Structure 1
């Protein structure tokens, strides 16, 4: 028994079948892509997955104020780096204040030695002696003394004859109270110059007798204390 002959389809039928296969493949691929994008499973479980995108903050949420006063009126602390303080400059030490002159006793005559001095022991013709006073406190404690010109006196004598006194023609005088420390000498700064003439209160500003060559003595007094006589020579 012979089989019936096989019926062949036309080329158009084969084209329609291939087109249907292509359409089915496109639908499958498109569905897979849509599932990947849509991800319907994200809403399952009641919570946000770990990879969820952050939501934007509402516009009415207050923002922190960096410095000054916050929007609610509460002051906010201002953070700042501490400023290193500069090292304190060392202050020079001042000596301890000693007793004030008002609390120191006045020098008594027995505590003070007064010395009359001349700048030379012998003077040639025309040389004028320069006279000074030296004061030393011989006690063990400081004392105060008025050494101003108001308490000074210079007297020059030749034997028993008084030739010159500094107070005869003194135009002005002043007081000067100083502290005498134990054992320290205080001397007049500017010497008093004798012009080698005889003085008197009646001859001030007038021509006076010139001193003759010979030996003379100088005696001084200051603050009520007298000195020993210092001898010098005029030639």
Structure 2
């Protein structure tokens, strides 16, 4: 009688059949792995290869070099508004004003504006007297083209702190500057970004 169909041994037939089943499943798994190794890479490369590269011959419709955030054309004159912003309206004697700006694309389409520090000018006046200009002692300025979406206000990421002194290029190294008058003195901040100046100034008080 065949020992394949009727195993001979001290244990029951079910035990031997279970062992053979485990061996057969192991052999089947090895065969599957071999097939995947031989066939897999070729089929995978075939599946991942695109039928065509639609972007290889595409070019910006404006004919301009894309900005850091998109391919919109430069903002047209009159299509951008600039707002001067301060963190407070009234400052105590130990407080220094933090100056910011907000730019908004008022046009119908996205456009690019240089919002880097090289294109920003903060000016503080009291009456007709210019007390401080951000570019007087500016260093390490940068150009940052930024795509403005229509109707979306964009605020400067980090404010500029005014030390309440009169700026002068001749005092950049010495650091000896005249303090701005306080005790209720009124000042006005205007901001220019890439040639666009805020239409109104931001008033604040130094105490």
Q: Same fold (TM over 0.5)?
A: yes
Residue 103 of structure 1: CA displacement?
4.4
- Among 196, 218, 223, which residue is 2:194 paired with? 223
Distance across 2 between alignment mates of 1:104 and 1:149: 21
Does the 8 A contact of 1:152 with 1:221 survive in 2?
Answer: yes
Residue 231 of structure 1: CA displacement?
0.4
Distance across 2 between alignment mates of 1:215 and 1:161: 12
RMSD: 2.5
Task: Normalising by structure 1, report the TM-score.
Answer: 0.57
Whether 1:201 and 2:172 are equivalent positions in the alignment is no
Distance across 1 between alignment mates of 2:98 and 2:76: 28
Query: Structure 2: which 5+ residue stretches go unaligned?
Result: 1-30, 36-54, 61-65
Does the 8 A contact of 1:109 with 1:224 survive in 2?
Answer: no
Residue 172 of structure 1: CA displacement?
1.7
Does the 8 A contact of 1:112 with 1:136 survive in 2?
Answer: yes
- Among 96, 99, 118, which residue is 1:128 paired with? 96
Residue 130 of structure 1: CA displacement?
0.1
Distance across 1 between alignment mates of 2:147 and 2:73: 10
**Which gives a bigger RCO, structure 1 or 2 (Cα 8 Å, sep 6+)?**
2
